[in-house]
Structure 1
Amino acid sequence: MNLSLTVLEIVAPVFILAATGFGWVKFGFEYRIQFVTRLAMTLAVPCLIFTALMKTSLDKGTLGTFLLASLAGYALIALVAQGLVRFTGLDRRTYLAPLIFGNTGNLGLPLALFAFGEAGLGYGVVVLAVSSVLSFTFGIYLVAGQGAGRKVLKEPMVWATLLGGLFLWQDWQTPQFLTNALDLIGQMAIPLMLITLGVAVARLTPGKISRAVALSLAKLLICVAVGWGLGLIFALDKVAFGVLVLQLSTPVAVTSYLLAEKFNADSEAVAGMVVVSTLMAVVALPLLLALVV
């Protein structure tokens, strides 16, 4: 009973905020998703990442090990997903990136924070940073057939991660008034991302639902297995282990749909995976949390 209540306390705020965004659109209210997304990704999320890294009490060596585990996780998931796409004869440009990358920002960070506190947030931003860099390089290459390395250098999240890592390494701190301001801005990030996730899902037109169900289930099983195995191999502590499994297992990100639409892949099929995997996460993530919390 206590475990059920703990899981409910973790997931309820996440899905209530996402449902708020979903309902907002269904009631016909205006939501300028491009503006809100730019505000979140250009200002709020970078501030959250920077302050989380700067203020974390986690050991530098432990974070380094976790970084390697995250990189290994995406490498293994990519290999297995490539094999799945090749075996089933699916279009690589459409399906490979959604099978690899999950919603480590909108959904993963809140879950890491609510489940494991500030330590979980510290680990969560590491996975988000790895996922973001890979998405804007390898992910774009998979969909467009060309790299986008320069785009990474324009992403505030990347610079916030590098700067936060530098401050962590050197044990530097910003002046308290600046830290307070950055904290306030960063506190916008999680509510904005969750509400925007609900809005985005409400506006998608999903296609090829039966295939989306099968692939979403396959993605979930692959990611849980990879995260669990690497957590044991790298001997991660309970918090790091839980965050790695959760972050790798998050549903398909809306970013995958936007990339598919931009580079003329089958965006309707990817929209189906976003919607189905997100709905699947409503059941799967609480069950997963019960195992790792």
Structure 2
Amino acid sequence: MSEVVTALVTMGLVVAAGWLIQARGWLPHGSREILATVCFSIASPCLLLATVAHADLGTLASRGAAVTWGTSLALAGVLVVIARWGMRLPAGRATITALSGSYVNAGNLGLPLAVYLFGDALAVVPTMLVQLLVMAPVAFGVLGRAADATPLPIAASRVRDDGDAPVRKGAVASAILNPLTLATLAGLVLALLPWSIPEAALEPFSLVGAAAPPLALLTLGMSLAKDVRMADAPVGPGEDGGMGAGLAGSRGLAAPLGLAIAARAVVHPALTWLVGSLAGLEGTALTMVVAMAALPTAQNVVVYANRYRCSVDVASRACVATTALCGPVLVVVSAVA
């Protein structure tokens, strides 16, 4: 328990430092985007490549990985059903609500948590892969076809991943052909080679990758300073996902937001603990998968909502609320799992 608290306090202080830097304007304009790009496009991929290249591939095909994939996809599916047919939300708003409750911040928070708490960045890889290879492309397909989602031109919008890094391709391609996924796949290829990669060959990647966890936390804090302002701002035309007057305001926001927060802070970690226990996971292996499931809503859900001008109100508020709840939830996870 003390190790978990120490790790959370350390990470929280770095996030708070990033928030203060952004709120006070201590760095030049655009610094947040530059730091996020360096973290997302260079440091994090280097860390993942070096980690996966030396990993036991059995870890990525383990019961823990299966639990992560199964619970993440099952939760997303249930949330879609509840939001779309239970709450009768339009397809776009239901999709953003489901993402807000199931798509976690694996880059800015999951990666440093895996390093600081478990000493291994590999812990976050199954979560990243299921989100980037399955959940994001499916969500983009729905959002692109939803009558209530009006996409911005690609040139006018910069679809980004957890680190807020710009992507040049279209929405679906950005989820698959991004530095994090490509670095992970490259690491898998190296791990599958019939010979061992010399340590010296991967040392430069490890050195640069060491900057990823603190950079991710700093940019998370800097982004939260912006997200808090976004969450407090009134919803503009079209940003409610085309809900119309009947769903505008707090009445139309409370139900999907409450669903997303409950799923993110309670249902997902509880479901993962239950399924993981039934699957025979215990000790660190169980704590690892439950901790990844307890991460807050990813900031890229806010980016996707902005990109499609759909339910920015739900995504931004869910991101802020679940990030605030993440610390207490992880403490409970460490005590139970």
Do Structure 1 and Structure 2 share a fold, with TM-score over 0.5?
yes
Structure 1 match to 2:104: 102
Distance in 2, Cα, partners of 1:287 & 1:153: 33
Match of 1:28 in 2: 25
- Aligned 8 A contact 1:136 1:151 in 2: no
Q: 1:163 Cα deviation (Å)?
A: 1.7
Is 1:156 paired with 2:156? Answer: no
Give the C-alpha shift of residue 148 in structure 1: 4.5
1:171 and 1:239 mapped to 2: Cα distance? 30
Residues 63-117 of structure 1: per-residue CA shift (max 9 Å, x gap): 3023322221222111221233132334314312111201112112222222222
Aligned residue number for residue 137 of structure 2: 137
Among residues 22, 42, 58, which one is paired with 1:61 in the alignment?
58
Matched to 2:213, the amino acid is: I
1:193 aligns with 2:204: no
C-alpha distance after superposition, 1:213-237 (max 9, x if no partner): 5631333222012211221233234
* Structure 1 residue corresponding to 2:316, chosen from 253, 271, 280: 271
Tell me the equivalent position of 1:83: 81
Aligned equivalent of 1:206: 231
- Classify 1:55/1:62 alpha carbon distance in 2 versus 1 (closer, same or farther; 3 Å): closer
Report the Cα distance in structure 1 between the residues aligned to 2:188 and 2:136, rounded to whole angstroms. Answer: 20
Q: Greater helix percent: which structure?
A: 1
Asked if 1 retains the 8 angstrom alpha-carbon contact of 2:112 and 2:216, the reply is: no
TM-score, normalised to structure 2, is 0.77
> How much has 1:123 moved relative to structure 2?
2.3
Asked whether the 8 Å contact 1:213–1:276 carries over to 2, the reply is no
Which one-letter code corresponds to 2:316 in the other structure?
Answer: A
SS in 1 for 2:119: helix
| Number of residues of Structure 1 aligned to a counterpart in Structure 2 | 285
Q: What is the letter of the counterpart of residue 67 of structure 1?
A: A
Q: 1:77 to 1:255 in 2, by over 3 A?
A: same
Distance 1:227 1:171, change over 3 A: farther
Whether the aligned pair in 1 keeps the contact of 2:95 and 2:139 (CA below 8 Å) is: no
From 182, 189, 192, the equivalent of 1:166 is 189
- Counterpart amino acid of 1:206? A
Report the alpha carbon displacement of residue 24 of structure 1 after superposing the two structures with TM.
Answer: 0.8
Identity of aligned residues (%): 21
Counterparts of 1:252-263 in structure 2, within 5 Å, are 252-263=297-308
Label 1:185 to 1:135 Cα distance change in 2 as closer, same or farther (>3 A).
farther
Match of 2:291 among 246, 251, 256: 246
Partner of 2:5: 8
Separation in 2, partners of 1:40, 1:223: 27
Question: Partner letter of residue 80 of structure 1?
Answer: V
Q: Is the 8 A contact 1:40 1:192 kept in 2?
A: yes
1:236 alignment partner, SS class: coil
C-alpha distance after superposition, 1:266-285 (max 9, x if no partner): 21331111111111113222
Contact 1:46/1:157 (<8 A) preserved: yes
Distance in 2, Cα, partners of 1:178 & 1:110: 24
Amino acid at match of 1:6: E
Contact 2:140 2:172 in 1 (8 A): no
Q: CA RMSD in A?
A: 2.3
TM superposition score normalised by structure 1:
0.87
Higher Rg: 2
CA contact (8 A) 1:21 1:197 kept: yes
Q: Gaps (5+ residues) in structure 1?
A: none
The answer on whether the counterparts of 1:54 and 1:173 sit within 8 Å (CA) in structure 2 is no
SS in 2 for 1:151: helix
Structure 2 CA distance for aligned equivalents of residues 63 and 144 of structure 1:
31
Name the CA shift for 1:141/1:14 in 2 (closer, same or farther; >3 Å).
farther
Given candidates 68, 71, 74, the residue that maps to 2:72 is 74
